Structure 1
Amino acid sequence: MDRLIYTAMTAMNAAMDRQRVVANNLANASTPGFRQEIFAVTPATLKDGSLEARALARGNVRGADMRTARVVPTGNPLDVALEGKALIAFQSPDRQGEIYSRRGDLHVAASGVLENGEGLAVLGEGGTPITVPPGFSVSLAADGTVLASDPAAPNVAAEAIDRIRLVNPEGSPLAKGIDSFLKVPNGGVLPPDPTARLTTGALEMSNVETADTLVQMIEAQRAFEQRAKIIATAGTLDEAGSGLMALR
């Protein structure tokens, strides 16, 4: 009976984790550049030669759905939508490496650092955050070059100060965790893509389909309830067995 309870409990934990992933996808249905997370449940069995009648469940985020989403014009010159499969390299929140995203709602922070809507610093070709000179106006070229011009000198051409680090995920391992960040496992980095291009004045939206995600949420909730019923049934069977033993 203990095996039945533990088996159902692991499946319940996996169903709960699936609900968290689906809820996170649903919460980011309107987040620019968001890639929905793919959740997978795998069986975990003990290889001891006995009959594998039951298997424990292990669930985790397998990766991200990298399909492109619709592009919406915004008119903001610092909004960018990436073409093809390219990704923008950002500095990780702990500043210990780089992470990747297609979220292109860029702006210049008060510190002069070029950031996206999550507050992540955009990395330049040298792997360091792009910083704009104080008071300068910023524009972006199709190849990711960052141009800065001094409003006090309107007759002076804009100067290139850096180029956004655009990378190519093709052929490289890419993982996505519960923190929603795309990373290369074990602290690796993606190679630069010199052919990558972006469209300014537009944003690529999330690729989460709201209706499908709502259905997934209902399915995850029902799966959790079914596991809970199994545990309740196991308790009932255990009580019945105890009662039969008491009759002896």
Structure 2
Amino acid sequence: MDRLIYTSLSAMRGAMARQAATANNLANVNTAGFRGEIAAAQALWVTGGEIQPRALASEQVLGADMREGAVTETGRSLDIAIDGDALLAVQAPNGDEGYTRRGDLQLSDSGLLTTGDGNPVQGDQGPIALPPADNVKIDRDGSIWVVPLGGDPNQPQLIDRLKLASPAGSAIVKGLDGLFRVEGGGALPADPQARVTSGSLEGSNVETTSALVEMIEASRAWETQMKLISAAREIDTASADLMRLD
């Protein structure tokens, strides 16, 4: 009886992990460049005897869905959509180099170029800072050109180049802050063949309908385990009543 309770408890924890991943995906359905999280379960058999009488459930986020999202033309000069599987290098809150597909670039009051969630964008020279300018243009290879205030529109100045890296051949993991990192530490080298499309923005690759179905399935799995725990309690009560009989 107690074994049934512990087995159901592990399944409930798995359902909670799945529900949390699905809820996070739904919360970011409109986040530019977001990659949906993938949760998977596996059976952990309890060993130690001659047979394996039961298995506990283990479910956790194993990775991210790296499919490309839909690209929408915005006409905004600082919006970029990254072609292929390349990633944009940014400075993570802890100072490490992280990677993202988010292309809704912004300019801070100090001229620092950041992503929409505030992470400084990395270039060949480090974090990119732009001077006051009349016009900003990002080329296909990520080069950033500006026309200074009052400058000649026919003579733009090259400021820096976005650091675009390809994860091909490297193991990357997604952190709780939504950024990708090299597993075990380190940084990805810049990919000179990577390209971006300026004036466009890649959306989230989360499919709302599928995510809602997954949330319903996780909720039903939770309810099923609650019923099993209730059944175990009834069996325990019946056993105790039986032991009290003369």
Kindly, what percent of the aligned residue pairs are identical? Answer: 47
Q: Which residue identity lines up with residue 113 of structure 1 in the other structure? A: L
1:22 is matched with 22
State the shift of 1:170 in Å.
1.0
State the shift of 1:218 in Å.
0.6
Q: Distance in 2 between matches of 1:198 and 1:155?
A: 23
Deviations 1:80-109 (A, max 9, x none): 0011111101111222x1111111001111
Contact 2:46 2:53 in 1 (8 A): no
Q: Distance in 2 between matches of 1:41 and 1:100?
A: 27
2:245 is matched with 247
Q: Which residue identity lines up with residue 99 of structure 1 in the other structure? A: G
2:159 is matched with 161
2:105 is matched with 106
Q: Can you give the 5+ residue segments of structure 2 that lack an aligned partner in the other structure?
A: none
Pick aligned residue for 1:206 from 188, 204, 210: 204
State the shift of 1:43 in Å.
2.0
Q: Which residue identity lines up with residue 200 of structure 1 in the other structure? A: S
Q: Distance in 1 between matches of 2:153 and 2:39?
A: 54
1:6 is matched with 6
SS in 1 for 2:244: helix
1:75 is matched with 75
1:120 is matched with 119
After superposition, the Cα gap between the structure-2 partners of 1:177 and 1:40, relative to the gap in structure 1 and judged at 3 Å, is farther
State the shift of 1:138 in Å.
2.6
After superposition, the Cα gap between the structure-2 partners of 1:57 and 1:177, relative to the gap in structure 1 and judged at 3 Å, is farther
Q: Can you give the 5+ residue segments of structure 1 that lack an aligned partner in the other structure?
A: none
2:89 is matched with 89
State the shift of 1:191 in Å.
2.3
Deviations 1:183-238 (A, max 9, x none): 22222222221100000000011111111111111111101111111111111111
Deviations 1:44-94 (A, max 9, x none): 234324322211222211101111121100010110001111110111122
Q: Distance in 2 between matches of 1:236 and 1:125?
A: 66
Superposition RMSD on alpha carbons, in Å? Answer: 1.6
Q: Distance in 2 between matches of 1:217 and 1:117?
A: 28
Contact 2:133 2:146 in 1 (8 A): no
* Normalised TM-score (structure 2): 0.94
Contact 2:111 2:130 in 1 (8 A): yes
State the shift of 1:40 in Å.
1.1
2:39 is matched with 39
Q: Distance in 2 between matches of 1:171 and 1:28?
A: 28
Contact 2:87 2:100 in 1 (8 A): yes
Q: Distance in 2 between matches of 1:246 and 1:158?
A: 92
